[in-house]
Each structure stands twice: as structure tokens, then as C-alpha cells.
Chains A and B, each alone.
Chain A
């Protein structure tokens, strides 16, 4: 005859603890690992824009980042940016340079694309469209979400790379060509993968698609 053994009080506590631990581990693995979980998605069908011609939509892992371009401030830079978007050159572009809560940078078409990522040359690639003259503005303040054309240490070397600020960076005023500002989706950009104590990112996140907004 098999005698039923009752669990002691400490065994019951241990059992409950193990169940709790399992639930925590499960939640952490499937939910918290998802960096996009608490990021607000932007539904393009529900948004209205004053200047739809100047709206660009950058789709990344966590959703759409919506950027208003400023051709009145930097006509040549915006024209170049639109050309590259129309030619789908930014699709698959790596956010290879990310400074935590400071800025993200992408747009190296030659060496920074998912199909051709060259760590030794990234940041030096060219679009093939030639260099642009810097269009600096002493009035444009690089507040959170500002989009600027990147350049080398010299002015007039803008090509295709761009950065987006994740905080106000006053020292960039008059230093970089402003292209526009993020009007929706800044939180999405804050989920972009950062480097480990470094500004350059190994195995970076990518732009899925980058398109001009289509409106009826």
C-alpha cells in the first residue's frame, strides 16, 4: 500500500518560488527581450501633415519614423536627400554610428548597406552623386529629433550620410547642414542598437525602407 506523503511547508514555498522564477524567466525571454514592445507605432493613415510633399517615412525594426524635410533652409541638401530616397538607396542602410541618447547615424550607401557592410571602410562611402556644399544655418537649433547631413572634418563634403539627434546639441548649430526634423517616432530611434561603450556598432540595426510619403 502506497502511503501518501504530504509536502512540508518549506517544500510548498520552494515550489511556489520555482513557479514564480519560471514565469519571470519566460516573461523576460519573450516579452522584455522585445525592444519594440512599449514603443508607440505610427499609423500613417491616421496622421495628417501640413506639407505632405516634404514628409519622409523611414521604416525601422520598431516602426515608422516620420521626418519633415526643410527645403527652405537647405534646398540642395533636401533635394539630394529626396533623390536618394526615391532611388531607394537608403533601404538596408546601417545605423553604424550610435551615441547613446545623443545621435544615430546612417546613410553610407557604398560601405554601410546590409548587402555590403565593410567595417574597415564604413563612413567613407560615396553615393556617386558628388559632394554638396554645406548649407549652414545660424538660426537652426539642433533640438531633439533634428536631422542633419553628416560630413568629414571639412565643410562642403556632404554626400549621403545623415544623423538624427536624440537630444538637443547646441554645439551643432552652424556646424552641420540641417535637413529636417522627426515629427513622429523619436522613441523608435532610441531603440536603435548602440555600441558596447563605443560609438561604432558591430552588427548594427538597419533601415528597412525609406520612402517619401504618398498622399491622395
Chain B
């Protein structure tokens, strides 16, 4: 009998925050922020704190509406760089806007979820890198849906043979996002963490600061090869994205 009561209790707790949006993308406590957009992106905002994922390891706080209203034009401007056809291909439809996003207690700017066609963004992420962060996370969605175009071994082979990436993106101390003065194959320190972060960093600069990339590749053969690799394979998905 006790087991039955326990089952009933768990049954109720697990779904206590369910509503029509939860039913669709499995994130509770959301409301519509902006629905109609030319590229069919739908913006949702957190009306209360939420925790999701395995062991509820992803947590984010509700947004202050004034804060969101202030930051939204920048978010929208950057996401408007992608057309609906491209977004369909990379399985992105919902942008969840919240504050203070954490995964396994590590602060992060964004978390992509291709399965639910969702990208969670922390609107309080460092302003200096905010725009780049959006495109960085979108690249992860591109790579997840087109893994055949972004082979990490092939990409890694552009590096000096003596260079080794870390085991994972968070298990190294290579976290700085500032652009290197002298690149030597890597745009930022974070690029040196793992191949997919390296690719995502290049993509984020291509989307926000093409001129800098042009300038850097002139004197950096390794970086030039990497940029061409990204450009070439992106064009296979959509010729007009860059």
C-alpha cells in the first residue's frame, strides 16, 4: 500500500508544472513572448524558475520582463540572420529565454536541444560575448543535425600534430572567450577545448565579425583551413547563410 501511495505521489510531482507548452517541448513554467516571426522562430520566456534534464541538472530562473524587453531586440536581430528553411534543417524552432542558466552547476550561455527543437538562452550572459554566444550555440545544433559534414577528426587534422584538445569542454581551464591577438590556429582560448567548440567559435565569429576573420586568416594557414572547412560544409546546408 505504501508503494502505491509513493507511486501516486511521484506521479503527481513529476507532472506538476505541465501545460500546453510543456506538452510540446517538455520545459515547464514558460509563456509565449513572441510567436509570429518571418523565420517562424517562436520565442518563449520563463515565467517561473525551472529545472529539467537528467537529475534536474539544468536550471534557469524566470525573466524580469523589463530586462527581457531591453535585450530582446539584440536576440531577435541575431536570430533573424537565419531563414526558416535553414532553421528547419537544423531543427530549431523554439527559443527559451531565461536568466542564470546552469547545467550541472556550471553557468552557461545557452543549451541546444535538437530533439525538442529548442535553444535555451541566458539573457544575463556576459554582454561582451552575448551575440557570439547565440551563434556559437546554434552551431552546435547545426553540427548535431549534420554530423556527416563536420567530422571532428578531419577538422582536428588541420592543427599542428603536437596539439591535443581536452577530453571535454568543461574539463579544461581553456575557457576564455576573448579573441587572440596572435591566433596560431585558434581564435580564442575556448577554441582549444574540444573540436566542436573550436568549430562553434569560428562559426560565431563568421556570423558576427566576418572582417576580423578575413584579417586573421591572411596570416594563419591553419585557421584559414579551418574557416574554409566550416564555410564549405555550411554551404552544403544553405548557400546563403554566410
Question: Is A4 part of the binding interface, using a Cβ–Cβ cutoff of 8 Å?
Answer: no
Question: Is A175 part of the binding interface, using a Cβ–Cβ cutoff of 8 Å?
Answer: yes
Binds B, one of A63-71, A73-81, A190-198: A190-198
Q: Which residue of B lies closest to A163 (CB)?
A: B23
Docked-complex contact A99 and B35, CB < 8 angstroms: no
- CA distance in complex: A198, B22 (Å): 12
Which residues B1-54 have CB closer than 8 A to chain A? 7-8, 11-12, 14-16, 18-24, 26, 32, 35, 40, 42
Question: Is A21 part of the binding interface, using a Cβ–Cβ cutoff of 8 Å?
Answer: no
Docked-complex contact B20 and A169, CB < 8 angstroms: yes
Q: Which residue of B lies closest to A119 (CB)?
A: B11
Chain B nearest CB: distance from A103 CB in Å? 7
Question: Is A172 part of the binding interface, using a Cβ–Cβ cutoff of 8 Å?
Answer: yes
Question: Is A7 part of the binding interface, using a Cβ–Cβ cutoff of 8 Å?
Answer: no
Docked-complex contact B35 and A198, CB < 8 angstroms: no
Question: Contacts A170-B35, A171-B32, A171-B35; is A198 near B18 (CB within 8 Å)?
Answer: yes
Chain B nearest CB: distance from A156 CB in Å? 14
- CA distance in complex: A195, B18 (Å): 11
Question: Is B116 part of the binding interface, using a Cβ–Cβ cutoff of 8 Å?
Answer: yes
Q: How many A-B residue pairs have CB under 8 A?
A: 46
User: Residues of A contacting B40 with CB < 8 Å?
Assistant: 174
Docked-complex contact A197 and B23, CB < 8 angstroms: no
Number of residues in B with C-beta < 8 Å to the partner?
21
Docked-complex contact B15 and A103, CB < 8 angstroms: no
Question: Contacts A119-B11, A170-B35, A171-B35; is A199 near B23 (CB within 8 Å)?
Answer: yes
Question: Is A83 part of the binding interface, using a Cβ–Cβ cutoff of 8 Å?
Answer: no
Docked-complex contact A153 and B19, CB < 8 angstroms: no
Docked-complex contact B15 and A199, CB < 8 angstroms: yes
Docked-complex contact A171 and B24, CB < 8 angstroms: yes
- CA distance in complex: A198, B8 (Å): 11
Q: Which residue of A lies closest to B26 (CB)?
A: A153
Which of B7, B8, B22, B23 gathers the greatest number of chain A CB atoms within 10 Å?
B23
Question: Is B115 part of the binding interface, using a Cβ–Cβ cutoff of 8 Å?
Answer: yes
Q: Can you list, as one digit per residue, whether each of A82-103 has a CB less than 8 Å from chain B (1) or not (0)?
A: 0000000000000000010011
Which residues A125-163 have CB closer than 8 A to chain B? 153
Q: Can you list, as one digit per residue, whether each of A173-203 has a CB less than 8 Å from chain B (1) or not (0)?
A: 0110000000000000000000111111010
Which of B12, B26, B35 gathers the greatest number of chain A CB atoms within 10 Å?
B12
User: Residues of A contacting B18 with CB < 8 Å?
Assistant: 99, 198-199
Known A199-B18, A200-B15; further 14 A-B contacts with Cβ < 8 A: A99-B19, A119-B7, A153-B116, A170-B35, A171-B42, A174-B40, A175-B24, A195-B15, A198-B14, A198-B18, A199-B15, A199-B19, A199-B23, A202-B11
Name A's B-contacting residues (CB within 8 A). Answer: 99, 102-103, 119, 153, 169-172, 174-175, 195-200, 202
